[in-house]
């Protein structure tokens, strides 16, 4: 029988050592090629991801800007509404204060009327301590009225004004013009030159 004295054939031997070497080289080559492909793919993926991220970032920024604009509009509207509410509340408080002042003064006016009558009655009395005391109290009340911006309404000799005066009598008087207040029976008072607390009770001429 012929015996092959060269056990190696085409770089292989019967023990398979050459085939293992080739296999290893093929695997290394495949791994290198795969690595290059993977690197290329990853590089391409990075570029695509970068483009996508940039686009997404622009969209996010635009969205946030729109949200900020909407929030700013809401804040401005709320600020305007609060300012209007504050002004309305302030006006309401002032109105309630004015009404309270007028209600209190209305109840005090009869006392003031009586003090004025007492002063007239005491005019004929000389060196009267009572007169001085009543005068002092009356002046204190008038001072308080002035601080509260309350003053008496001018009537006698003034043209009749239905907004200020209440005519209870009429008289013909050649010395006075038409619709002139000839006499005042009860003094009227006005608050802040706007709100009539009590109309003057007067007699009108002609």
> Which strands sit side by side in the sheet containing 180-186, from one edge to the other?
165-171, 200-205, 180-186
Query: pLDDT digit string (tens) for 105-117?
Result: 999 999 999 999 9
Q: Give pLDDT tens digits for 23-80.
A: 455 454 445 544 443 444 444 444 444 455 788 888 889 899 999 999 999 999 999 9
- pLDDT confidence of residue 175: 83
> CA–CA separation, 128 vs 122, rounded Å?
8
Question: Which residue from 107, 100, 204, 191 is spatially nearest to 151, judged by alpha carbons?
Answer: 191
Q: 153-206, which class in CATH? A: mainly beta
Q: Is the pLDDT of residue 3 over 50?
A: no
Q: Break the chain into its structural domains and give their ranges.
A: 153-206
pLDDT of residue 10: 42
CA gap 92, 88 in Å, rounded: 6
For 5, list phi and psi in degrees, rounded to 5: -85, -5
> At residue 165, does pLDDT exceed 80?
yes
Task: Return the exposure string of 176-206: e unless at least 16 CB atoms fall within 10 Å of the residue's CB, then b.
Answer: eeeebbbebeebbbbbeeeebbbbbbbbbbe
Distance separating alpha carbons of residues 120 and 113, to the nearest angstrom: 11
Cβ proximity of 179 and 160 under 8 Å: yes
Using DSSP bridges, classify how beta strands 165-171 and 180-186 pair: parallel, antiparallel or unpaired. Answer: unpaired
pLDDT-derived band at 125, boundaries 50, 70, 90: confident
Q: Output the six-digit token pair for 4.
A: 């092959």
Angle at 144 between CA 149 and CA 104, to 5 degrees: 80
């Amino acid at each position: 029988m012929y015996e092959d004295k060269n056990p190696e054939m085409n770089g292989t031997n019967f023990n398979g050592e050459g085939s293992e070497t080739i296999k290893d080289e093929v695997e290394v080559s495949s791994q290198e090629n795969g690595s290059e492909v993977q690197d290329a793919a990853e590089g391409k993926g990075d570029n695509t991801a970068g483009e996508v991220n940039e686009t997404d970032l622009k969209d996010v920024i635009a969205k946030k800007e729109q949200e900020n604009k909407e929030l700013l509009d809401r804040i401005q509207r709320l600020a305007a509404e609060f300012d209007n509410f504050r002004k309305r509340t302030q006006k309401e408080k002032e109105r309630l204060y004015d009404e309270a002042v007028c209600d209190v003064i209305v109840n005090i006016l009869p006392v003031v009327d009586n003090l004025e009558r007492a002063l007239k009655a005491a005019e004929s009395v000389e060196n009267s301590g009572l007169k001085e005391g009543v005068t002092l109290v009356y002046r204190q009340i008038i001072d308080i009225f002035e601080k509260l911006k309350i003053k008496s309404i001018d009537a006698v000799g003034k043209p009749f004004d239905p907004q200020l005066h209440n005519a209870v009598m009429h008289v013909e008087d050649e010395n006075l013009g038409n619709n002139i207040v000839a006499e005042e029976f009860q003094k009227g008072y006005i608050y802040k030159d706007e709100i009539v607390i009590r109309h003057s009770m007067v007699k009108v001429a002609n």
